[in-house]
Amino acid sequence: MFFTLLRFNPQFFREFKGRLTSRSLALTAAASLLGQALLMLYFWVALPDPGSLSGVPLQHPYCTGKGSRWRECAFLNPDQVLVNWQAWWLDIFQVLSWTLPLVVLVAGVYMLIGDITKEERRGTLNFIRLSPQPSQRILRGKLLGVPLLPWIAVLLAVPLHLMAAVGAGMSAAEVVTIYLVTIVACACFYTAAIFYGFMEGSQGWFGAVGVLLAYTFVFQLWATGRHNAPPLFFSIAEWFRQPIGTSLIHALGFALLLFVGLAVFLWRGINRRFRNPNLTLLSKAQSYLMTFSFELFMLGFMIRSPYKYDSVSTAMEGLGILMVLNVGWFMVMIGALTPHRQSLLDWARYRHAKPTTVAQEKGRSGRRMWSDLLWGDRSPAMLAIAVNWLLVVAVLLPWIVAWSAHQLPALVVIVLTGLFMLVCAAIAQLVLFSKSNRRAILAAAILGILVVIPPLFMGIANVYPQKAAIFWLVSAIPVAAWQYLTWNSVMLSVLGYCLVLGGLTLRLKRQLHRAGESELKMLLASCKP
Q: Which residues contact 25 (CB under 8 A, 6 or more apart)?
A: 149, 152
Nearest to residue 377, comparing CAs of 346, 410, 419?
Answer: 346
Which of helix, strand or coil describes residue 465? coil
Q: How many whole angstroms separate alpha carbon 434 and alpha carbon 443?
A: 10
Phi, then psi, of 77 in degrees rounded to 5: -155, 170
Find the DSSP H helices in 22-134: 22-45, 85-122, 124-129
pLDDT, residue 5, reads: 54
Nearest CA among 198, 333, 194 for reference residue 279: 198
Nearest to 344, CA basis, from 370, 376, 367: 376
Dihedral sign computed on CA atoms, order 15, 16, 17, 21? positive
Instruction: Count CA atoms closer than 13 A to 401's CA, side-chain side.
Output: 6
Phi, psi torsion values for 341, nearest 5 degrees: -55, -50
Mean pLDDT in order along the chain per 10 residues (529 residues): 61 83 92 94 84 61 73 73 85 91 91 86 78 83 90 94 92 89 91 84 71 76 60 67 77 85 88 83 90 91 60 75 92 89 79 50 63 84 93 92 84 94 94 84 90 89 85 90 87 93 91 70 55
Beta strands 71-72; 75-77: pairing state: unpaired
pLDDT recorded at residue 421: 95
What's the CA gap between 488 and 492, in Å, rounded?
A: 6
**Which SS3 state, helix, strand or coil, does residue 164 take?**
helix
Distance from chain centroid for Cα 239? 20
3-state SS, residue 9 = coil
Check residue 350 and give its pLDDT.
65
- Ranges of H-type helices in 169-203: 172-198
Q: How many degrees, rounded to 5, is the angle at CA 135 between CA 132 and CA 137?
A: 90
Residues 6+ apart with CB under 8 A from 282: 268, 269, 272, 290, 333, 336, 337
